[in-house]
């Protein structure tokens, strides 16, 4: 089986505080993995280690079989030069809690930026593909609007289209709906549900237990920098073996 993402022994400390205590994870192509866990358990740090925005203190991540951040040089691992690291990172699309759209560009301008600047696409092609993606997230009608003219849910849908425009192998989501007003959560989850149905490989940090139950192929629960439970959503969410996971879930499901 070819793996989209494989992480082995990921440890990360900030000062003397160990946030990630040796995490292993494998995600297959087409798989949707949801990561749950209490605030401060290290979920965002783990995502940032996966795409090498943070360098783990030990452990390695492979994306599509290539080790992130390093190359093999005469049997020794050498850090990649920044340009090649950026190219590697572009294989991972990232959507954060706070939509970080360019305020001075239109919706369309936001989506074509990466493909034109980083991948050298010509404007006409970048725009045609951007319009397809905006169609897919239900935002084609707002292509010429500016971010300040959009609701939070609309901005987040544009942020998803902008990530997809780089044709990443894997999409990483870090609580994409937790900054939204409750009535706007559904439209973003619907876009994510459609992506999952279409076979996009996704790692989703979320507090939306209903989404995890319905959409995830597998759920991981992180507590205090460790993966304490992993399995099918039905099993993990309804019948977790680990008592700390049970306590966490009983709180969020209450």
Ligand X SMILES: Nc1ncnc2c1ncn2[C@@H]1O[C@H](COP(=O)(O)OP(=O)(O)OP(=O)(O)O)[C@@H](O)[C@H]1O
Among 44, 51, 91, 200, the residue binding Mg ion under the rule CB under 5 A is 44
Among 27, 33, 43, 204, the residue binding ligand X under the rule CB under 6 A is 43
Q: Is 102 in the site for ligand X (CB under 6 A)?
A: no
String marking each residue 44-83 x if it binds ligand X according to CB under 6 A:
xx--------------------------------------
Q: Is 177 in the site for ligand X (CB under 6 A)?
A: no
Other Cβ atoms less than 10 A from the Cβ of 163: the count is: 21
For residue 163, the 8-state DSSP code is H
Backbone angles phi, psi at 165, to 5 degrees: -60, -20
Q: Burial level of 3, CB count in 10 A (0-12/13-18/19+)?
A: middle
Place of tokens 């690291």: 85
| Binding site partner of 239, from Mg ion, ligand X, none, Cβ cut-off 5-8 A by kind | none
For residue 40, the 8-state DSSP code is T
Q: Is 7 in the site for ligand X (CB under 6 A)?
A: no
For helices 152-164 and 182-197, the axis angle rounded to 10 degrees is: 20
Q: Is 41 in the site for Mg ion (CB under 5 A)?
A: no
Residue number with CB closer to Mg ion (37 or 115)? 37
Residue number with CB closer to Mg ion (14 or 102)? 14
CB 97 within 8 A of CB 175: yes
Residues that bind Mg ion (CB under 5 A): 44
By CB under 6 A, name the binding residues for ligand X.
Answer: 14, 19, 37, 39-45
């Amino acid at each position: 089986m070819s793996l989209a993402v494989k992480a082995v022994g990921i440890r990360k400390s900030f000062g003397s505080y160990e946030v990630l205590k040796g995490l292993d994870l494998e995600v297959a192509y087409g798989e949707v993995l949801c990561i749950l866990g209490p605030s401060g358990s290290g979920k965002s740090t783990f995502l940032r280690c996966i795409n090498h925005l943070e360098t783990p203190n030990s452990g390695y991540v492979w994306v599509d079989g290539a080790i992130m951040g390093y190359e093999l040089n005469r049997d020794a691992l050498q850090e990649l030069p920044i340009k090649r690291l950026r190219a590697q990172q572009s294989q991972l699309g990232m959507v954060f809690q706070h939509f970080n759209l360019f305020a001075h560009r239109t919706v369309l301008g936001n989506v074509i930026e990466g493909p034109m600047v980083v991948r050298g696409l010509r404007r006409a092609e970048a725009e045609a593909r951007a319009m397809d993606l905006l169609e897919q997230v239900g935002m084609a009608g707002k292509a010429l609007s500016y971010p300040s003219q959009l609701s939070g849910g609309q901005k987040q849908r544009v942020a998803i289209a902008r990530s997809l425009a780089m044709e990443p192998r894997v999409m990483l989501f870090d609580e994409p709906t937790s900054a939204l007003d409750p009535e706007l959560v559904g439209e973003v989850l619907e876009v994510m549900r459609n992506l999952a149905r279409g076979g996009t490989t996704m790692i989703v940090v979320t507090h939306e237990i209903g989404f995890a139950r319905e959409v995830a192929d597998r759920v991981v629960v992180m507590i205090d920098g460790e993966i304490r439970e992993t399995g099918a959503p039905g099993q993990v969410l309804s019948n977790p073996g680990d008592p700390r996971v049970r306590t966490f879930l009983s709180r969020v499901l209450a």
